[in-house]
Amino acid sequence: MALYAVLGGVRSLSSLQPSSSSAAAAAASEEVLVEGKASARAAVLNRSGHLNALTTTMGARLNKFYMSWEDNPDIGFVMMKGSGRAFCAGGDVVRLHQLISEGKLDECKDFFKTLYSFIYVLGTYLKPHVAILDGVTMGGGGGVSIPGTFRIATDRTVFATPEVHIGFHPDAAASFYLSHLTGHVGEYLALTGEKLNGVDMIALGLATHYSMSDRLNLVDERLATLLTDDPSVIDTSLTHYGDLVYPDKSSIVHRLEVIDKCFSLETVEEIVDAMEIEAARLNEDWSTLALKRLKEASPLALKVSLRSIREGRYQTLDECLVREYRMSINGISEKFSHEFREGVRARLVEKDLAPKWDPPALEYVSADMVDSYFAPLGEFEPELTLPTESREAFV
């Protein structure tokens, strides 16, 4: 899910669907720009006024460009970057909220289908991919970068998957890449929505290289001269022009023992109880804040997200995306959409920060409710189909 609006004020964002007018069509074509380099192409996410939040049109254009570039023998590798102060903060959740309220679920389904299909292309891409995560990288922003080959974090990078606080689940391949992190830090990030900086992304393996933001021009200039499709050559260049950084005393790496102790437990209730004990014992800001975030999140979203991460640990990328699509479509259905609509209302529309979750507490979230969130979509609702026979799954 795209999480642009979680970061700040709600703006009047464009629709997830392109307008039929020629002016809107022209504007939509500018939402993903292309830069040509020696043997590379760069896709530039270009909605800087909206922190490069992804639209259905952008997902379709990315799909089209990437498939064309993959088949072009003159292109050795592909890059992605964002314009302005963000890489990509995800999609337009306020617009999704509006569409659900208006009963326009098909437009929402098109958004998820288009985005998840592109993420699968990226995760199975035959050519090296370099994503420059300079700035906000949240929700779908992680999905369109982390499954690729290389990710450059910077001193401006802010990463998070805070979907549980708007009554949703970490999607866009989050259940795949979070579940494959060390220990149980994936569960921790999914259930608390904690923000990470670029150094912590390197430490956890979410990013592969680091560069100070003001040195990115050097990196870009070097990549522009490369005539290669060899990942090791690109890796060497990124390392040579990058910066060597080490976690400071506030880094998440110093909390992994406590995180694993708490977030390896079987249920959300047990995790919250364990964090209560640790927060009292440690009396440290991070544990108090993590506990607060757990208690503020949707109880249903917490239980759904915990199961999603744990299923993702034993699934391939395509299996995760198919399951996440099923979860997302169930999540916007009449049965469950209250959580998402209420979360967006409370955080982003009316901004009272007082969501009325239903169920209101963990003890009222039954196993049957969680099972229903993962249930097959039914005879008249197609599941997500991915070209697994023609593209090898990323394991």
Tally: H helices and E strands in the chain: 17, 10
The lowest-confidence range among 94-103, 167-176, 261-270 is 94-103
In this structure, is residue 10 part of a structural domain? Answer: no
pLDDT at residue number 74: 95
With 60 as the cut, is the pLDDT of residue 5 above it?
no
Question: Quick check: is 30 catalytic?
Answer: no
Question: Quick check: is 339 catalytic?
Answer: no
In this structure, is residue 344 part of a structural domain? Answer: yes
- H/E element, 108: helix 105-123
Looking up tokens 């890796």 gives: 235
Question: Quick check: is 143 catalytic?
Answer: no
Annotated catalytic residue, options 82, 140, 143, 242: 140
354/224 Cα distance (integer angstroms) = 49
In this structure, is residue 307 part of a structural domain? Answer: yes
DSSP 91: B
Annotated catalytic residue, options 171, 187, 318, 324: 171
pLDDT at residue number 50: 86
- The CATH number given to whatever domain includes residue 219 is 3.90.226.10
In this structure, is residue 261 part of a structural domain? Answer: yes
pLDDT digits (tens, 9 = 90+) for 12-51: 333 455 445 566 666 777 999 999 988 999 999 999 988 9
146/176 Cα distance (integer angstroms) = 10
pLDDT digits (tens, 9 = 90+) for 280-319: 999 999 999 999 999 999 999 999 999 999 999 999 999 9
In this structure, is residue 273 part of a structural domain? Answer: yes
Q: Please tell me the pTM assigned to this model.
A: 0.92
pLDDT digits (tens, 9 = 90+) for 84-140: 999 998 887 888 888 899 999 999 999 999 999 999 999 999 999 999 999 999 999
Looking up tokens 């599941």 gives: 383
Annotated catalytic residue, options 31, 92, 134, 163: 163
In this structure, is residue 250 part of a structural domain? Answer: yes
In this structure, is residue 392 part of a structural domain? Answer: no
Question: Quick check: is 36 catalytic?
Answer: no
Annotated catalytic residue, options 59, 76, 91, 148: 91
75, two tokens = 């292109």
In this structure, is residue 384 part of a structural domain? Answer: no
Residue 313 CB burial class (10 angstroms; 0-12, 13-18, ≥19)? middle
Number of domains in the chain: 1
With 50 as the cut, is the pLDDT of residue 345 above it?
yes
Residue 291 belongs to what domain range?
31-374
